[in-house]
Amino acid sequence: MAPNRPTTKQLLQCVAVHLNVDPASISLAPIPTGKFNDSYYVLANNREFVLRVAPSRNAVFCFYEKNMMWQETRIHELLLEKTAVPVARIHVFDKSRTLIPRDFLIMGRLPGIAMSELTHIDEDAVLRQVGEALAETHAQHGELYGYTGEHRPMDPQHCWADAFVIMWRKLVDDVVSVGYYDDEERTLMLSTLDKYLALFDRPVPASLLHMDVWAQNILVDGGSTLTGLLDWDRALWGDPEIEFAVLDYCGISKPAFWEGYGGTREDSPEARVRNFFYLLYEMQKYIVIRHGRGHDPYGAMAHKTQVMEIMRRIQQIG
């Protein structure tokens, strides 16, 4: 058992205390698809819930991952109030660490099965609905840019370019901290963004961005109906183009998605350069994740190799 990982008895107590039920009456089953949090299906008082338990604070994180569960309740409440995006209602968020040595939340269980677990689905129908949901999400605007949630991984900024510079530098330093960039490579990563920074300084609203939409976080019911978008803990406020890069990387930005989204992305030379950097922002996190949490140095190095290949392509732009 991993250090500080709660026991089944402790998990049952978390549910029992907050939902005011007898621990003996609770059914608990692990959700196998979880990658970051430990998640469980819960049946209590004939009602279905999901218990999500954050990693130990001793885990290796990207800068924005530490305590990122802290912002989920506010984001879910906003989406439930302002949109038709299918998200669960969070009933409990406990960061007291009095019951277990982790933060945790209890939310309602949405119907459906993760898209990654299904073999027979109407993919176009589902992706159109994902596009509609993200269009509604991106229509939610804030006053500040960056990771503005309660976990405070950065100082929010008044323009997107300033926020992205901070995000980029922090993530590059995360890669340095796990030993995959030397001083020369760190300088390359920072100076190359500085060279193109003017392309990011444009009047885009601070849109709410999910930043982790992939098949595992898409719930589908009956093979064609979107019933849930999961895992909003990585959300930030900024330029939707960075979300599009994540969708590219995860194989979501197909024609059906854009039909649902109701628009097309900019395809100017400037947008293509921005997309390189946004793709690199997504890819660099996997160097940290593979090395620090996956204990997979070969996988981490493979991601670094891909990152450096894209950097070489940016250098060739001139």
pTM over 0.85: yes
Q: Which one-letter amino acid corresponds to residue 122?
A: D
| pLDDT tens digits along 149-183 | 999 999 999 999 999 999 999 999 999 999 999 99
Question: What is the rounded CA–CA span in Å between residue 243 and residue 275?
Answer: 10
From 87, 109, 131, give the residue that closes a domain: 109
The structure tokens listed for 316 are 């060739």
Three-state SS string over 136-205 comes to: HHHCCEECCEECCCCCCCCCCECCHHHHHHHHHHHHHHHHHHCCCCCHHHHHHHHHHHHHHHHHHCCCCC
| pLDDT tens digits along 117-158 | 988 899 999 999 999 999 999 999 999 999 999 999 999 999
84 and 137 inside one domain: no
Number of folded domains that form the chain: 2
186 and 307 inside one domain: yes
Q: CATH number of the domain that 204 lies in?
A: 3.90.1200.10
Q: What is the pLDDT averaged over residues 41-64?
A: 94
Asked whether residue 1 is assigned to any structural domain, the reply reads no
Q: Which residue has the higher pLDDT, 59 or 123?
A: 123
The structure tokens listed for 50 are 């999901």
Judged by average pLDDT, the poorest of 24-38, 44-58, 198-212, 270-284 is 24-38
Mean pLDDT across the chain: 95
Residue 1 has pLDDT above 50, yes or no: no
224 and 281 inside one domain: yes
Residue 35 has pLDDT above 90, yes or no: no
128 and 258 inside one domain: yes
241 and 309 inside one domain: yes
What is the reported pLDDT for 4? 65
* Residue 261: band (very low, low, confident or very high) from pLDDT cuts 50, 70, 90: very high
State percent of the chain over pLDDT 70: 98
126 and 56 inside one domain: no
Residue 3 has pLDDT above 80, yes or no: no
Q: Which domain holds residue 88?
A: 8-109
Asked whether residue 157 is assigned to any structural domain, the reply reads yes
Asked whether residue 3 is assigned to any structural domain, the reply reads no
Residue 2 has pLDDT above 60, yes or no: no
96 and 228 inside one domain: no
* Residue 106: band (very low, low, confident or very high) from pLDDT cuts 50, 70, 90: very high
Asked whether residue 65 is assigned to any structural domain, the reply reads yes
From 109, 138, 167, give the residue that closes a domain: 109
From 109, 133, 156, give the residue that closes a domain: 109
